[in-house]
Chain A
Amino acid sequence: MRRYSAFAVAREAARFHTGWERAWRSPAPKKKYDVIIVGAGGHGLATAFYLGKNYGITNVAILEKGWLGGGNTGRNTTIIRSNYLQDPSAALYEKARSLYETMSQDLNYNVMFSPRGVIMLAQTEHEVRGYKRTAHANMLQGVETRFIGPEEVKKLVPIINLAGPRYPVLGGLYQARGGTGRHDAVAWGYARACSDMGMDIIQQCEVTGVRSSGGKVTGVDTTKGAIDCDKLGLVVAGNSGALANMAGFRLPIESVALQALVSEPIKPCMDVVVMANTVHGYMSQSDKGEMVIGGGTDGFNNYTQRGSFHHIEETVRALVETFPMVSRLKMLRQWGGIVDVTGDRSPVIGKTPLGNCFINAGWGTGGFKAIPGGGWATAELIAKGEPGPLAAEFGMERFIEGRFIDESVAAGVAH
């Protein structure tokens, strides 16, 4: 792999950009791999990357039914934060956030991580109390957040309307080290690094069946033929239920649609991410100048990657109250993704009823921020066969044992 650098840009400029090579190979699948990862989204590629980097396992195939990073990795609102309430989540998301800080250097790929700060607005007395509690919990967890008053919110976000008609802004939970990243670049960067380690990324290759014997997976059937493997990792977000069905077990997961939209590009007006969970809306400004807006999920199971219109209306209504200038913006695009939601709104990283089949799923509405941490933990799980400290609490058995990692209050709607 030829490294990207300022020198490379100058070199290619001098020869009319004829020397750039493909970022990753597109090989035909081999008969057998040590590890097959199903799903070439952020988490799947990160899992493969850390399998190679941390454990030296490089005979790996990453199968993708569509195109790389075309699911929720390419559909989210790119927010990165780690201000969670419970200890296991804070550890996992903070690991991810810290890996984002050096990701561009680690992957030699500019993922445009922008630690511009994230504010979660408190707009009711309950939220004020809840976020103060989260700030205290974060202090104990070693995650840097603090509760700020309305004046400081206004200073950080001049376009905000503090005296909203329904829900005035009473303060906010501020994580200065949170921010945004370039979501596609995260997938592309991991893919390039995986391919460089000799892993096969096989796109347009849908898994149609999981073959097993004696309680162990032996391989998968795909639209490009059968492929054998020693270990299988399922990292398919919204399609986890369908894959689990093929493998013969059920999951504590339901798939619903989550929507986002972007406005026309405008001049820089907001250099932090603002989330307003009471009114269901969150917004940041991309480097292109578009206001990136996310809203709430639909209430019903859905695999169509499009959501209900009334949720867009609710989200935009909330944002117009919070940021009056939004009322003059035209919206450019709207899209939906299928998110996999668990009962306690925390992910599942763990073993399955099939001995050598592992799962990373259930990230719900907040998987992007966790990509490097989730990949790190899942790679450890697949390599060792047992979860490491990061993933230990996230196994599916927590639903039998009643050992929930309850983030439905702390992180319920918007991520």
Chain B
Amino acid sequence: MLILECPYCGVKGEETEFHAGGEAHLKRFGPGSSDADFETYLFMRENPKGVHLERWRHANGCGKWFHAARCTMTLEVFGTYSAQTYEPPQEIKDILTAKRPGWSWRNFK
């Protein structure tokens, strides 16, 4: 059972209180973009063994979307952070570097 903390309302809850929303930090492509970009945005996924940055919604709480850093091999949640960002904040990166040295996720390190 995952325990997540909503970065907006500060409530800690188990996963039934939240709704998983898939990979985070996707760059969105709209009309006029190339087929390859559109495919990558819609379908291609990192699906890593290890550090995964992902979206969650506090469905049975404040209702807001936020981001989480989690390990797909151990289900350890490294931390949660605001969705209003293009990349994980430095303190999340520091936790990841401490716990998973050499981690990388797309172009983040």
Interfacial residues, chain A to chain B (CB-CB below 8 A):
239, 241-242, 245, 250-255, 298-304, 308-310, 342-343, 399-401
Contact = CB atoms under 8 A, between A and B. Distances in A.
A301 B72 contact: yes
Given A304-B73, A309-B1, A310-B16, A241 B36 contact: no
Contacts of A310: 1, 15-16
B72 A302 contact: yes
B15 A308 contact: yes
Q: Which of B19, B20, B45, B74 has the most CB of A within 10 A?
A: B45
Nearest to B16: A310
Interface stretch (B46-54, B83-91, B92-100): B46-54
Nearest to A401: B35
A408 to B, nearest CB: 13
Q: Across chains A and B, which 7 residue pairs bring their CB atoms closest together, nearest first? A: A241-B47, A299-B20, A252-B43, A300-B20, A399-B43, A400-B39, A250-B44
Contacts of B9: none
B19 A400 contact: no
Given A245-B48, A250-B44, A251-B44, A299 B73 contact: no
B43 A242 contact: no
Nearest to B56: A300
Contacts of A298: 20
B104 to A, nearest CB: 11
27 contacts: A242-B48, A242-B49, A245-B48, A250-B44, A250-B45, A252-B39, A252-B43, A252-B45, A255-B47, A299-B20, A300-B54, A300-B70, A301-B72, A302-B72, A303-B72, A303-B73, A304-B75, A308-B1, A308-B2, A309-B1, A342-B43, A399-B39, A399-B42, A399-B43, A399-B44, A400-B35, A401-B35
B22 interface: yes
B49 to A, nearest CB: 5
Given A301-B52, A400-B36, A252 B19 contact: no
Contacts of A241: 45-49
A251 B1 contact: no
A253 B75 CA distance: 19
Contacts of B48: 241-242, 245, 301
A212 B20 CA distance: 36
Contacts of B49: 239, 241-242, 303
Contacts of A245: 48
A295 B84 CA distance: 35
B96 to A, nearest CB: 16
Contacts of A342: 43
